[in-house]
Structure 1
């Protein structure tokens, strides 16, 4: 099943993938949903795409590279933030007010990890800044879930009422999501990609030989993302040798533990788009892939829509990650993994229906992250053969629909063993313990060449003198 899912992803995006050898068995997790299958398929897909790209560029030692994915390792990677340690200590992942609350007719989940989202939720509930969890629980108990969801959303916050699978499938956004491809990949129109000249013609036509010893050596990636899905996408590209520059801003909130855990192999800079838009434009002009997961429309408002990036950098691959997809009434709505689990019926079915029970991993985040990385490399593959600039789109909600389509599991697996999948690395934060990158290409094992840097610790410039174009 896993091998056929990987093959289908290749077919749907128009790329030919090498065969992937699957080792290990499912189930790995105690869940009614086949999270382990989604893990192995998404990891296997990006690994196969990287191997195909390496071969296309002339760097692979064989025409048919040996590609494999281990189900348990892929599943462990889906829980990477849970296994991550700094000097033996777990990272704090949830703020005090984040969580599930009973409502008059069911349950609501509030996402309060960022202060402005917390304050929006408190305003919507008529509570003062500084209110505690008991206050929030009392306020939610007197209102319906949909009422709280809509009130928090109007205030600019993030909330999700628990729905059944049937309710989501009948919802206008659920219907819109069902019409989207799992990984949408399309070529920009000619008007968005001017004709190239001079040395840059290499980007829009056949690729030159590999620039280094690793599959993605010489590929430059801008990581304009936060939290899990986007950073995971850029992190796995770094594990295969891409030069990844993570762009944040000093004024934007972060989840500290996640910032470190998802930054292996990357450099990090700060750019304030309110006052330094040209700095980002300069970076884009020299890039191969841009991964963004800002609030839908936020970058477009500042002149950094995918079409704008394709004009700045002909031959670019733009990857957009959203919560609910690019169509439907919720296309512009903020969202996170735990919220999509609630609205899509996953949290309802994973329990007994009386209270929400989350998946054993932030599976929508991680699967979407690996699928986004797959979309990026698929775009590079299409670029090498056909030229042009490419646009990949993924969403947490569409990934949730894919997980739903994978069928159901017995749900009685023991907690998976991970000790043999962990590694250690010294960093400026201390000694880090982490899950090694999953997926294998013989002769090009993925690894992170550097420890996570401090946020904004590098200059907003590329480390190497030249890119791949």
Structure 2
């Protein structure tokens, strides 16, 4: 038992578990890596492989708050590296001396990778502030935040119960959400602060139960900001807890298929997943991050966007790295046929939509398993959602902010900031989104390894709420208040409040990083991968490198092509290479 155990209960509210002292980030990450590895069915327990991992970086936390988001994500990146090493061995490239290095500070920056990029030598945050980025990017947002009220429709707000806050979410179409709580979306409110205050006046007159039922009735996203204890004791919390964190399940009900051996590595591409074909049908951050990571490991990824659904413009710069992109409207049979032709060849299908919608288009798990059985080659079916693979919330829509509220992460973050009136605050970056991405990638790598050695097809599930609940477990622990305060003093973070949009909070953290760790965020720091000619007006594009690195550079994760806009290629005639 370490000197940190037993952990202090309820420091940040019911169901929280706080370390008694401080352990340097690298040492703590190593412990959490071993913890997740030991709890993951099918993950190697071979010490000769586990000991290949090395964690480096800042010894002290570099993001706000008490949640050990960086160690958890860095541990998952390391796991991806270990499985990649196993796959390289299967492909005839065994190297007992190969090392897997994860820089935990890099893992922290990776949470904000959509803001840590450069176009033609200028950082993206500056490009956004100057208005120049709008001219570079195809416009996919359909006005989702074109007024202050729409922007602030996504935030955490007080209710008529002084102890309970609620996560309201505009879900990229804020008008009906605002109307449902009595706010006129056309009211001319100029500032974000005034818009938040206006929305808060309306939510303060509604009980948490009324807000919850309003969202359920209308199919909107939303969640009460539960404490960790409340979530863990709920029926949905119990459903989620029944699954392993890295959730990979063989599908014995499918038509049996033999092992699909990896081809020997081609000298032209020595990355572990070279030759693996992936179809990705996702939106925004978590799902696209799965595909981006697999692309860095060498997979050929074709991403599909529904042309009628909005997506966030800035994500095009980073979350399409290494991919080809097309648009397909599944409501049109001739376009759906294109998707099915790609799936006939695919090794992996990633989907980020509600699971019960998929069978309508012949894309449910059992549909794809049938396809795999008939062709005689197994497939990996990857689903990403908010609440988990089953239970009565599984089909409920949700985004990062909803998972942060439901799991207790926002409750804990608010408590750590010592704000009045029990105010909840989102963790300061797209943490659950990005970590859900690496969690899905780890599961996919594991499933591909097993398909090569055991045969069959596999289902992988990655959920936003699972990421948060794992980070709040007693075995992981939270940073003590004095550590949180020391981090805040070092970086001088600006004010963080419940009504702040996750993009506001991201810029707040980025500003602190620039002040203290600015050298790492320079384009020529060595932390970025640059492409001289991008699809964005031909300008040089530099994006943050993959987090895990392998000591043999040609096999180490990297992208061979830069990000491209959504729907960059015509869907007609597209095929895997």
What is the TM-score when the length of structure 1 is the normalising length?
0.90
SS in 2 for 1:359: coil
SS of residue in 2 equivalent to 1:108: strand
In structure 2, list runs of 5 or more residues that go unmatched. 1-27, 130-140, 146-150, 190-194, 492-512
Task: Report the counterpart of residue 250 of structure 1 in structure 2.
Answer: 307
CA RMSD of aligned residues (A): 2.3
Residue in 1 aligned with 2:459?
A: 391
| 1:100 maps onto 2:133 in alignment | no
> Compared with structure 1, are the counterparts of its residues 150 and 81 closer, same or farther at alpha carbon in structure 2 (3 Å cutoff)?
farther
Deviations 1:113-149 (A, max 9, x none): 512xx13312421344435535433321210233213
Equivalent residue in structure 2 for 1:23, among 34, 56, 59:
56
Q: Retained in 2: the 8 A contact 1:26–1:37? A: no
Deviates most, 118-127 or 417-426: 417-426
Could you say which residue in structure 1 is the equivalent of 2:181? 125
Distance in 1 separating the partners of 2:31 and 2:381: 26
Report matched runs for 1:207-286 at 5 Å.
Answer: 207-211=262-266, 212-275=269-332, 276-286=335-345
Unmatched 5+ residue regions in structure 1?
196-200
Q: 387-396 or 120-129: which moved more?
A: 120-129
The residue matched to 1:268 in structure 2 has which SS? strand
Deviations 1:219-277 (A, max 9, x none): 11111111111111111111121111111121111111123321111110111111122
Q: Name 1:67's counterpart in structure 2.
A: 100
2:361 match? 302
Distance of aligned partners of 1:8 and 1:390 in 2 relative to their CA distance in 1, 3 Å threshold: farther
Query: Which residue of the partner structure matches residue 560 of structure 2?
Result: 449
Structure 2 distance, partners of 1:119, 1:155, is 13
The 2-side partners of 1:446 and 1:222 are apart by 19
State the 1:161 CA deviation: 2.1
Secondary structure of the residue aligned to 1:38 is helix
Radius of gyration: which is bigger?
A: 2
Deviation of 1:41 (Å):
0.6
Task: Tell me the distance in 2 between the aligned counterparts of 1:80 and 1:248.
Answer: 21
- Contact kept, 8 Å, 1:47 with 1:440, in 2: the verdict is yes
Moved more, 18-27 or 131-140: 131-140
Contact 2:171 2:220 in 1 (8 A): no
Q: State the number of aligned residues.
A: 454
Cα gap change, 1:65 to 1:459, in 2 (>3 Å):
farther
Q: How does 1:345-364 map to 2 (within 5 A)?
A: 345-352=408-415, 354-364=422-432
Stretch deviating more after TM superposition (253-262 or 426-435): 426-435
Structure 1 segment 412-431 matched on structure 2, within 5 A: 412-413=486-487, 414-415=490-491, 416=513, 417=517, 418-419=520-521, 420=525, 421-425=527-531, 426-429=533-536, 430-431=539-540
Q: Which piece of structure 1 moves more, 91-100 or 81-90?
A: 91-100
Which residue of structure 1 aligns with residue 12 of structure 2? Answer: none
Q: 1:455 to 1:398 in 2, by over 3 A?
A: same
Cα shift at 1:162: 1.6
SS in 2 for 1:434: strand
Match of 1:88 among 102, 112, 123: 123
Pair 1:103–1:453, CA change in 2 (3 A):
same
